[in-house]
């Protein structure tokens, strides 16, 4: 699905936002329906650590806000969505540009809506890998997202 004017504007805002910009990553694509986001993290003077590989903070920072923002957009204003926890596993030093693709399908969105009908909070865990151009995994991240339907929306 191509980008829309709204999702393209969101991509530009991400890439200009100082906290995200400082990580050294770039959002390269946001689907018009917000069900897919792609990120690129190059090895550069901004992301290089003491030993010449991509800094761990840049690896995590590149993927940090994506699932939360995707779910905020997909679920709408009747839901509270927060990052709750994260775990990162460094698998291989990043010596080249790395890429991540985030996807949330319609079945997942409907499952969340169904589970949240009671107003009780729920946690969902989403996994994403940072891979090189050959698909080799350099870092695996698990994001736990807190979701709850707003009480006034029940």
Q: Which residues, 6 or more positions from 105, have their beta carbon under 8 angstroms from its beta carbon?
A: 35
Beta bridge partners of 39: 27, 100
Where in the chain are the domains?
A: 5-153
**For residues 63 and 27, what is the distance between their CA atoms, to the nearest angstrom?**
10
- For position 154, what pLDDT does the model report? 65
pTM of the model as a whole: 0.94
Residue 1 pLDDT grade (very low, low, confident, very high; cuts 50, 70, 90): confident
Mean pLDDT of the chain: 96
pLDDT digits (tens, 9 = 90+) for 40-55: 999 999 999 999 999 9
Question: Is a pLDDT exceeding 70 seen at residue 10?
Answer: yes
Question: Is a pLDDT exceeding 90 seen at residue 153?
Answer: no
> For 5-153, which CATH superfamily applies?
Hotdog Thioesterase (3.10.129.10)
């Amino acid at each position: 699905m191509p980008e829309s004017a709204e999702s393209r504007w969101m991509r530009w805002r991400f890439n200009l936002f100082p906290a995200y910009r400082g990580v050294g990553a770039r959002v390269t694509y946001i689907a018009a329906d917000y069900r897919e986001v792609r990120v690129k993290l190059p090895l550069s003077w901004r992301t290089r650590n003491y030993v010449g590989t991509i800094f761990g903070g840049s690896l995590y920072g590149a993927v940090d806000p994506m699932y939360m923002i995707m779910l905020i957009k997909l679920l709408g204003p009747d839901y509270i969505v927060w990052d709750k926890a994260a775990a990162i596993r460094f698998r291989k030093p990043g010596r080249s540009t790395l890429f991540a693709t985030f996807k949330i399908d319609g079945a997942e969105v409907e499952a969340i809506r169904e589970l949240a009908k009671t107003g009780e909070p729920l946690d969902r865990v989403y996994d994403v890998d940072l891979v090189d151009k050959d698909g080799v995994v350099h870092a695996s991240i698990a994001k736990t997202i807190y979701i709850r339907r707003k009480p006034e929306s029940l």
